[in-house]
Amino acid sequence: MENNENKIITIDISSNSVKIGLVSEQLKLEITDSQNINVINEDLDGFAKRFDMDDLWNKVNNGINRILKNYKSVVNIIGISSCTQRIATVFLDNSGDVIYGGPNIDIRGIDSAYMIDDEFSERDLFEITGHSPPLLFCLARLLWFKEEEEETYEKINKVLMLDDWLVYRLTGNYVSDLSSAAESQILDIKKREWSSEIIQTFDFDPDFFPEIVESGTIVGELKPELAKSFNLSQNNIPVIKTGGDTQATLLGMGIIEDGDIGISLGTTAPVHLVVNKPIFDPNNNYWTSCHSIKGKWLVEGHAGNTGAAYNWFKECFLSSLTNNSDYSIEQYLKNSTPGAFSTFAFLGPEKMNIKNQTSIKRGVFVFQPPTMISEELPKIEDFARSVLENIAFGIFENYQAIKGFTDLSTRTYCAGGMAKSEGFCKILASVLNTEISVPYTKDSAFIGVAMNTLKGLNYYSDYRSMIKNLLTYEKNFSNPTNSDNYKNIYLEWKNLKNKIDDL
């Protein structure tokens, strides 16, 4: 353990948890803390959901206090930065109090999206914002309050993305960044500014929307009372803007160059391609966002609930068998072969298809059942492998689609919770038939947040030199034999999927 070393406090509010990390100047993740997030259902229907914002803030505070207390050495905090789940939105009144804070799964906008449809064609809105469908984002939520809760709408003074709110709580300043604002469906993705066309069309107060800065900008200092509550003796601790958790994860993987492809293996698995100009999918399906790097955009495919499917399988099928399901799965993968003895899983991961979000498909395992003539039957090892192969096939379908947006030769990276599984990374490399670089620190969001801090503090003049000097990778190579096998196994999986989708 390094003594008296400069450290960065990093905060990551992901889809499921509030995570706090202490990262060194050398981008070494020293200690972490994680707490689950509470999401409240507002109605029986399940469309409207919101955060308990006091609980969220308490968890940030408690997490910071715990890592500082549990880290045994005296630390000098050189900066604080954060990233949060995308799409999540917070509305504040003129006292700065929260009127509404909603997670990325709040779809109350389903009631108000017709107003967007009436004003903008699907294509026109997509070419401004790079996102669809209209029911999901901040735009539809604002319109929902305007339509359904007029009194609440009248009280709105600021419209923030979740990371903007966190920065506000840390500094008292209202500010957004491109990686956050890009997920609001109110940002003009090409101009990289709030869309005056959208704001005027819906008669929003332009003052709702805070100033936008580039990620890696110092946006204030930690409030003295917070520094005191964290038992920090320092004053004037700078707070640096990061933004969207996925963009932070990509940065932490070192993904900044045109043609880089990053697979963020979290609860879901977005697959991003870095491009140097905004490219819009002619079918309005794959999203276009802003990277946290100046002058870079992202095209995104989304494989759906990958980590969620993996965790569900572990909880449902392995928790009564083992205390260490991750270790068990590694063993299962060693004891099974590609194709999982003709066992196929269909648990959700698939090609992104925004227009087909009207049906929720049934989860299915297809396998060889016991019969009078069975000589061998699938084992738990095969079911575990089939789940991971399903996830890999879902990523593969998006990876193929995203690659189609560039003529450049691509380099592929992945990070996140599932990247900690060596067995899964090998499967993924063979299914994608490519070499995959996995950063040494798999919790890349912390690293991306810390990189923005170092950039903001001018420790480095650019991200490229930081990546070159500080990031190290493990390489996962595709196994040619397995890659050949997986071509056929995927086709068999896809053929079955086409039938199962009709269930």
Do the beta carbons of residue 292 and residue 243 sit within 8 Å? yes
Kindly tell me which of 47 and 71 has the beta carbon lying closer to another protein: 47
Placement of tokens 């900044």 in the chain: 256
Q: Mind spelling out the 3-state secondary structure of 411-422?
A: EEEEEEHHHHCH
- Select the residue interacting with another protein from 5, 111, 330, 501 (CB under 8 A): 111
Which C-beta is closer to another protein: that of 115 or that of 418?
115
Helical segments of 210-345, H only: 224-229, 245-253, 306-313, 325-334
CB of residue 359 vs another protein: minimum separation in angstroms?
5
- With respect to another protein, which residue has the nearer C-beta, 151 or 225? 151
Which among 63-71, 117-125, 177-185, 261-269 is the span making contact with another protein, rule CB under 8 A? 117-125
Residues, the chain, total?
Answer: 503
Q: Is 110 in the site for another protein (CB under 8 A)?
A: yes
What is the rounded radius of gyration, in angstroms, for the C-alpha atoms of the chain? 23
For residue 398, the one-letter residue type is N
Q: Is 43 in the site for another protein (CB under 8 A)?
A: yes
Q: Tell which one of 1, 44, 316, 321 touches another protein (CB under 8 A).
A: 44
Q: How many residues bind another protein (CB under 8 A)?
A: 23
**Residue 116 or 251 with smaller CB distance to another protein:** 116
Helix, strand, or coil here: 22? Answer: strand
202 binds another protein (CB under 8 A): no
To the nearest whole angstrom, how small is the minimum distance from the Cβ of residue 112 to another protein? 9
In whole angstroms, what is the distance from residue 155 CA to residue 417 CA? 40
Sort 502 into a burial class: Cβ within 10 Å, 0-12 / 13-18 / 19+. Answer: exposed
The residue within the footprint of another protein, chosen from 40, 42, 46, 324 (CB under 8 A), is 46
If one asks whether residue 277 binds another protein (CB under 8 A), the answer comes out as no
Binding span for another protein by CB under 8 A among 8-16, 107-115, 166-174, 369-377 = 107-115
Query: Which phi and psi (to 5°) does residue 376 adopt?
Result: -145, 145
Nearer to another protein, 166 or 352 (CB): 352
Q: In angstroms, what is the minimal distance from the CB of 49 to another protein?
A: 10
Choosing from 47, 71, 341, 440, the residue that interacts with another protein (CB under 8 A) is 47
The footprint of another protein on residues 318-357 (CB under 8 A) is: 354-355, 357
Min dist CB 46 to another protein, Å, is 3
Work out whether 135 is an interface residue with another protein (CB under 8 A): yes
What are the tokens at 88? Answer: 């999540």
User: Does residue number 203 form part of the binding site for another protein (CB under 8 A)?
Assistant: no
Q: Which is nearer to another protein, 277 or 355 (CB)?
A: 355
462 touching another protein, by CB under 8 A:
no
Considering only 18, 22, 29, 113, the residue that binds another protein (CB under 8 A) is 113
Q: How many Cα atoms are found within 13 Å in the side-chain-facing hemisphere of 402?
A: 33
Retrieve residue 14's tokens. Answer: 């992901």
Q: How far apart are CA 175 and CA 164, in angstroms?
A: 6
**Cβ neighbours around 282 below 10 Å, total:** 9
Span of 6-14, 42-50, 444-452, 484-492 interacting with another protein by CB under 8 A: 42-50
Provide the strand spans (E) within 320-388. 344-346, 364-366
Select the residue interacting with another protein from 147, 193, 205, 315 (CB under 8 A).
Answer: 147
- Which of 108, 124, 256 minimizes the C-alpha distance to 189? 124
Residue 281 C-beta: closest distance to another protein, Å: 16
Q: How many CB atoms lie within 10 A of CB 94?
A: 9
| Binding residue for another protein, selected from 117, 124, 207, 492, defined by CB under 8 A | 117
List, as one string, the DSSP characters of 188-226: ETTTTEE-HHHHHHTT--GGGSPEEE-TT-EEEE--HHH
Q: Residue 350 or 443: which CB sits closer to another protein?
A: 350
Closest contact distance (angstroms) between CB of 356 and another protein is: 8
**φ/ψ of residue 481, rounded to 5:** -65, -45
Q: Is 359 in the site for another protein (CB under 8 A)?
A: yes
Give whichever of 37 and 354 is closer to another protein, judged by the CB atom.
Answer: 354
Question: Per-residue x/- mask for another protein, residues 379 to 418, rule CB under 8 A?
Answer: ----------------------------------------
186, 191, 197, 198 alpha-carbon torsion, rounded to 10°:
0
User: Which DSSP state fits 32?
Assistant: E
Distance CA 202, CA 208 (A): 13
Q: How many CB atoms lie within 10 A of CB 470?
A: 18
Round to whole Å and give the CA distance between 116 and 124. Answer: 11
Please state the closest distance from residue 133 (CB atom) to another protein, in A.
5
Site of interaction with another protein (CB under 8 A): 43-47, 110-111, 113-114, 117-118, 122, 133-135, 147, 354-355, 357-360, 362
